[in-house]
Structure 1
Amino acid sequence: MVVEKKRSPVGAAVLRDDITVAIRGAVVAELAEVGYGRLSIEAVARRAGVSKAAVYRRWRSKLDLVLDLVSATAGRNLPLLDTGSLLGDLELLLQVMARALQHRMALQIIPDLLAEAARTPQIAEKLHQTLEDYQRTIGLVVIGRAVERGELSAATDQRLAVDLIVGPIYWRLAITRTPLGTAEVRRAAEMIVAALQVAGAGPDAPEAEV
């Protein structure tokens, strides 16, 4: 069992990063195994090999713990997108998304959290905020850079563009749960680029070859 050092009598306790990582990993495993409703601090502490006090030093409740995990995970999973082209950036982004969404734990955790969000306003708000931040980041990085390179019109609606990018992948992997191969990821990226370029060119633009 991993045990934190005793709190120093002077000043605040220093929280060890390795214990924080262990607790977050335990939360992910517990969510995948029992879901949010049956998740408990006791089980998380036991799986992480720490005391309950170690968990409560970091988070006040299981809700705070899960909300923090959602934010940390979303922020960590966005790759450094700078391949030199919109097609390359999109293909890399879709590959990362596909790997994440096809992971066994993601397939179990995401539907559970979405269902819980319908019952718990705090989770709904955090998920909404996290997804908004994620969408804004993708828009600035992928669409913004494509506009700077002249691949997309400056009038491109970043919000709708990101919906077009992530929506089909999420539908395919998280809703219908149909596997997505490497060749299909490339094809999806090509189709999205074509759609964005036609949309940005205006209503009189010719159809793009795909």
Structure 2
Amino acid sequence: MLREDVTEAIRAAVFEELAAVGFARMSIEGIARRAGVGKTAVYRRWKSKLALVLDLITAVAAEGAPAPDTGSLHGDVRALLEVAAAALSHPVASQVVPDLLVEAARHPEIADAVRGALLDGRQGVAARIVRAAAERGELPEGADPDRALDLVLGPLYWRLAVVRTPVPDGYLDDLARSAIAALTA
């Protein structure tokens, strides 16, 4: 029987190790040292660092974020932006996400897991937001949730993960208004 506290310590160590050295330089030895366990404890749970990272990405994706339900399209979009900005600004995520995207170009397994973690859950959230807005008459029936997701989160991702500039005061409100204007155009 595997101890859950050891498994959780290893998972936390993976995030720290990814943020510190990146996937390419990450090692099972470094993860074990950071978790305060032996390498065998890691290998009992995962056969390789790739399997470990894929499991971790899948677990994070499964947690998912609930769709905001503020009663208005602007409120829902603004709440989604707030959650995404906090996630992308987190010190660990700001290091891990770009590194995993680089590795996704080299490893199809990582690409699939990252796609699942970053896209699948968000598509469900976007679909619920768009459906609720259409029911309230704020968006036309048949509005495209994928387009909504691109318009809402694309600029934020660009700013925080690619260009790596902070979000100034008022930016999330402006972005929410701009995305909604584009969706209703």
Fold match, TM over 0.5?
yes
- Name the SS of the counterpart of 2:106 in structure 1: coil
Contact kept, 8 Å, 1:40 with 1:62, in 2: the verdict is yes
Contact kept, 8 Å, 1:67 with 1:123, in 2: the verdict is yes
- Name the SS of the counterpart of 2:170 in structure 1: helix
Pairing of 1:1-210 with structure 2 (within 5 A): 13=1, 15-76=2-63, 78-198=65-185
Deviating beyond 6 angstroms after TM superposition, the runs of 4 or more aligned structure 1 residues are none
Cross-structure match for 1:201: none
1:25 deviates by: 0.9
1:134 deviates by: 2.2
| Aligned AA (2:140) | S
* Structure 2 stretches lacking a partner, 5+ long: none
Bigger relative contact order (CA 8 A; separation at least 6): 2
Q: What RMSD in Å do the two structures reach over aligned CA positions?
A: 1.7
Matched pairs, number:
185
Contact kept, 8 Å, 1:23 with 1:55, in 2: the verdict is yes
> C-alpha separation between the residues in 2 aligned to 1:183 and 1:158?
25
1:41 deviates by: 1.2
Q: What's the TM-score once normalised by structure 2's chain length?
A: 0.91
Q: Which digits, 9 at most, give the CA deviation of each residue in 1:78-100, with x for residues without a partner?
A: 24511111111111111111111
| Aligned AA (1:190) | R
- Bigger Rg, structure 1 or 2: 1
Identity of aligned residues (%): 51
Contact kept, 8 Å, 2:82 with 2:172, in 1: the verdict is yes
